[in-house]
Amino acid sequence: MKKYLVLITAVLMIMGFISIFYVKGVESYKLNKGYINSEANPEVIYKSGPAQKETAGASTKKENTAANETKDNEGNLGAAESSAGDPDSEAKRQIDPNKPMVALTFDDGPHYENTDNILDSLKKYNGAATFFVLGSRAEKNKEVIKRIVEEGNQIGNHTYDHKQLTKLSSTEITEELTRTSDIIQDIANIRPGLIRPTYGSVNDNVRNYSKEPLILWSIDTLDWKTKDKTKIVNEALKNVKDGDIILMHDIYKTTAMAAEVIIKELDSKGYQLVTIDELFKARGKELENGKVYSNAYK
């Protein structure tokens, strides 16, 4: 009888050990496969820890670069500005007030590819333009915004998401414009000093609450409507004269293709491609807040 008891105890102990090892084995298998969340979590934290750090490091690096770039921007902008009045300036772009000039303007962007192509064309002919951007698109294309500023172009405000300002209350007008200016400031450390009212619509409310000069145009290329390179080029060039402000939209591929020809043609005709600020400064006209301008003479 005693023998049986010892045997049964021994068998039970062996079975106990086996079951303990079996459960442990399954747990470690599940752990390896990540089935057990509570056990796998420390690993996840460990893995995401350094990754997050890297990201944080990268963005800090970016911010630093952005800060440096901003310093450069200010330097460049200052140089470009002074070059308008000082022909001896060593700035890359020199504006001669005695020669004809036009301001190309691009609305509704920025666009990661089409705006970039337009910037390439401007750079090639040592020209600059004004980009009236949407806050909502600027948020998604920060690098393009930085490049626009870096290369001596001007940025204007075209509302956050293209609401028609004449349909908004005074508070809403202020909100739309301030929100966009804040976004540009965050990205490029400059505040747009100009507004292009959406749809070219202006009323007393817009004049009183926009608190910046309101820039319309004297040549409408109708690029958004035709989406035809030849037609866009013809509309831009057929009646062009000194002081004109040309309207285009940098969100369309056909506009970017047409802009390449327009820039080349205007350059060969002796026109300087300038920003809105450069245009009015060269023509001795001071831009006033809340006033509407269609060209350098109106």
Sole binder of Zn ion in the list 66, 76, 104, 107 (CB under 5 A): 107
Stretch touching Zn ion by CB under 5 A, among 24-32, 101-109, 164-172, 210-218: 101-109
Q: Which is nearer to Zn ion, 255 or 272 (CB)?
A: 255
Active site residue 107: yes
Closest by CA to 231, choosing from 245, 248, 218, 215, is 248
CA 161/CA 157 separation, integer angstroms: 11
Active site residue 249: yes
Stretch touching Zn ion by CB under 5 A, among 65-73, 105-113, 139-147, 274-282: 105-113
CB of 137 to Zn ion, least distance (A): 11
CB of 88 to Zn ion, least distance (A): 39
Q: Which is nearer to Zn ion, 107 or 277 (CB)?
A: 107
Q: Which is nearer to Zn ion, 77 or 214 (CB)?
A: 214
CB of 107 to Zn ion, least distance (A): 4
- Choosing from 244, 249, 250, 277, the catalytic residue is 249
Q: Which is nearer to Zn ion, 73 or 198 (CB)?
A: 198
Which residues within the stretch 248-277 sit at the binding site for Zn ion (CB under 5 A)?
none
- Choosing from 107, 223, 250, 277, the catalytic residue is 107
Stretch touching Zn ion by CB under 5 A, among 25-33, 65-73, 87-95, 99-107: 99-107
Measured in whole angstroms, the distance separating CA 89 from the mean position of its chain's CA atoms is 30
CA 26/CA 6 separation, integer angstroms: 30
How many binding residues for Zn ion (CB under 5 A)?
Answer: 2
CA 131/CA 154 separation, integer angstroms: 6
Q: Which residue is nearest to Zn ion (CB)?
A: 107
CB of 247 to Zn ion, least distance (A): 9
CB of 134 to Zn ion, least distance (A): 8
Stretch touching Zn ion by CB under 5 A, among 5-13, 52-60, 106-114, 142-150: 106-114
CA 249/CA 223 separation, integer angstroms: 7
Q: Which is nearer to Zn ion, 132 or 271 (CB)?
A: 132
CB of 176 to Zn ion, least distance (A): 13
Q: Which is nearer to Zn ion, 252 or 280 (CB)?
A: 252
Sole binder of Zn ion in the list 108, 176, 212, 260 (CB under 5 A): 108
Q: Are 243 and 101 in contact (CB under 8 A)?
A: yes
> What is the contact surface with Zn ion in residues (CB under 5 A)?
107-108
Active site residues: 107, 249
